Amino acid sequence: MKFGGTSVATLDRIRRAAKRVGLEVAKGYDVIVIVSAMSGKTNELVGWVNETSPMFDAREYDAVVSSGENVTAGLMALTLQEMDIPARSWQGWQVPLKTTSAHSSARIEEIPTDNINRKFGEGMQVAVVAGFQGISPEGRITTLGRGGSDTTAVAFAAAFDAERCDIYTDVDGVYTTDPRVCDKARKMDRIAFEEMLELASLGAKVLQTRSVELAMRYKVRLRVLSSFEEPSDNAGTLVCDEEDIMESNVVAGVAYSRDEAKMTLVSVEDRPGIAAAIFMPLSEAGVNVDMIVQNIAEEGRTDMTFSCPTEQVKRAQKALDDAKAKGDISFNELVADTGVAKISVVGIGMRSHTGVAAKMFKVLSSEGINIKVITTSEIKISVLIDRKYMELAVQALHDAFELEKKA
């Protein structure tokens, strides 16, 4: 069971979360609870580090920033003990959750189960583990990056072969689209790993992408639910294997990403290796390139368009200007459009149904929305449009694919 920051924001909420843990213990389960820092605490700690040392040592950053989870873990264990449930708190190094040495973005390498299993054997019923943190081969505390507690929870579920992994957040499940944008959005009972992975990577902030990747690889059944709703057997959304879903809509959901930018290199020389010459410097500069479109070449020149997050536009411009100055690439101008949004429709049903793209384009056309860039995969279609039409596009597509209805 994983409880996010809002679910453990106060002592009262920790007590409420502990009661949920007690319900699972009463059913006879040994429970591993993964906790985040109390809401807002990590941001406060990051702020203190930046104020103290703007060019900070990443190892000390991790030592400070990981402390928020330690506090929550101790308080949760104490709360459970007050309920007469044998519980112990565990920091990452005590498990030990072994990670790479990449401070602030470490990856999990191994979770030995011996220590915690031995304590379960001695009568402990709940292990409360501080999420988001581990230990490097050098013996230093590491953190897994923002949202890392989701990844911690799935990794523990896989390592201990748990029956399922419950992720408690401030929303009551996964919706067909953002309910704040479309009031007809429907909570799904089940969604396939692949659909969830696409929705998570396309901007649905319910689950961290890495956690869904892990769950898919190790076949961990994930349940997303709210810690503020009354417990029930059919609460939340189950993220599971495609085989566990009887019937699904062709399109499962509509995702959007508001802060996208479209960048076009005008009149690039068209020669073998030019794509590598453009995208290697962007990669090295840490620019997260998404959609890529190359126009038909004319007289040895072509236009290359790609999208990236708006906050990375300046970094992208500098990387490309530097590459041009070095003579690695030549282009006439670099045009950045920071007023676009990405809209995507996602569904495993697309594999066996035709006409989804045609329908999507027709719907946008009938609303007078111009498509700037298109990319497709086996189970998704994404388009870039003017940001001012984003909400209209989401609502129109949700209506057109009748996502408010169950399959």
SS (H, E, C) the chain: CEECHHHHCCHHHHHHHHHHHHHHHHCCCCEEEEECCCCCHHHHHHHHHHHHCCCCCHHHHHHHHCHHHHHHHHHHHHHHHHCCCCEEEECHHHCCCEECCCCCCCCEEECCCHHHHHHHHCCCCEEEEECCEEECCCCCEEECCCCHHHHHHHHHHHHCCCCCEEEEECCCCCECCCCCCCCCCCECCEEEHHHHHHHHHCCCCCCCHHHHHHHHHHCCCEEEEECCCCCCCCCCEEEECHHHCCCCCCCCEEEEEEEEEEEEEEEEECCCCHHHHHHHHHHHCCCCCCCEEECCCECCEEEEEEEEEHHHHHHHHHHHHHHHHCCCCCCCEEEEEEEEEEEEEECHHHHCCCCHHHHHHHHHHHCCCCCCEEEECCCEEEEEEEHHHHHHHHHHHHHHCCCCCCC
Considering only 35-39, 64-68, 201-205, 305-309, which range has the smallest mean pLDDT?
201-205
372, two tokens? 């700037």
Has 21 been labeled as part of a binding site?
Answer: no
pLDDT at 203: 60
Has 205 been labeled as part of a binding site?
Answer: yes
Considering only 52-66, 122-136, 195-209, 217-231, which range has the smallest mean pLDDT?
195-209
Nearest C-alpha neighbor of 253 from the set 137, 345, 145: 345
Amino acid occupying residue 326:
K
In this structure, are strands 373-376 and 380-386 parallel, antiparallel, or unpaired?
antiparallel
321-378 pLDDT tens trace: 999 999 999 999 999 999 999 999 999 988 888 899 999 999 999 999 999 999 998 8
261-284 pLDDT tens trace: 999 999 998 889 999 999 999 999
pLDDT at 153: 97
The answer on pLDDT for 100 being more than 90 is yes
The answer on pLDDT for 317 being more than 70 is yes
Q: What is the mean pLDDT of residues 109-124?
A: 97
241, two tokens? 């294997």
Q: Edge-to-edge strands of the sheet including 190-192?
A: 87-90, 126-130, 31-35, 2-3, 165-169, 222-226, 237-240, 190-192
The answer on pLDDT for 6 being more than 80 is yes
Q: Does domain 2-243 have CATH number 3.40.1160.10?
A: yes
pLDDT at 209: 84
The answer on pLDDT for 25 being more than 90 is yes
52-89 pLDDT tens trace: 998 999 999 999 999 999 999 999 999 999 999 999 99
Residue the block writes with tokens 């897994």: 144
pTM of the model: 0.82
Has 175 been labeled as part of a binding site?
Answer: yes
CB contact set of 199 (below 8 Å; sequence gap of 6+):
174, 191, 206, 252, 253, 255, 346
What's 254-400's CATH class? Answer: alpha beta
The answer on pLDDT for 115 being more than 80 is yes
Q: What is the mean pLDDT of residues 213-227?
A: 92
Distance between CA atoms of 255 and 193, rounded to whole angstroms? 15
Domain assignments of the chain as residue spans, ordered by start: 2-243, 254-400
Has 3 been labeled as part of a binding site?
Answer: yes
Has 170 been labeled as part of a binding site?
Answer: yes
Has 169 been labeled as part of a binding site?
Answer: yes
pLDDT at 353: 87
Residue the block writes with tokens 């209506």: 399
pLDDT at 204: 63
Q: What is the mean pLDDT of residues 231-247?
A: 83
**Mean pLDDT, the chain, integer:** 93
Please, is 143 exposed, middle or buried when counting C-beta atoms within 10 Å of its C-beta (0-12, 13-18, 19+)? Answer: buried
Report phi then psi at 150, rounded to 5: -60, -45
Distance between CA atoms of 364 and 356, rounded to whole angstroms? 12
pLDDT at 341: 95
Has 180 been labeled as part of a binding site?
Answer: yes
In this structure, are strands 31-35 and 126-130 parallel, antiparallel, or unpaired?
parallel
CB contact set of 387 (below 8 Å; sequence gap of 6+):
258, 260, 339, 340, 341
Has 206 been labeled as part of a binding site?
Answer: yes
Has 69 been labeled as part of a binding site?
Answer: yes
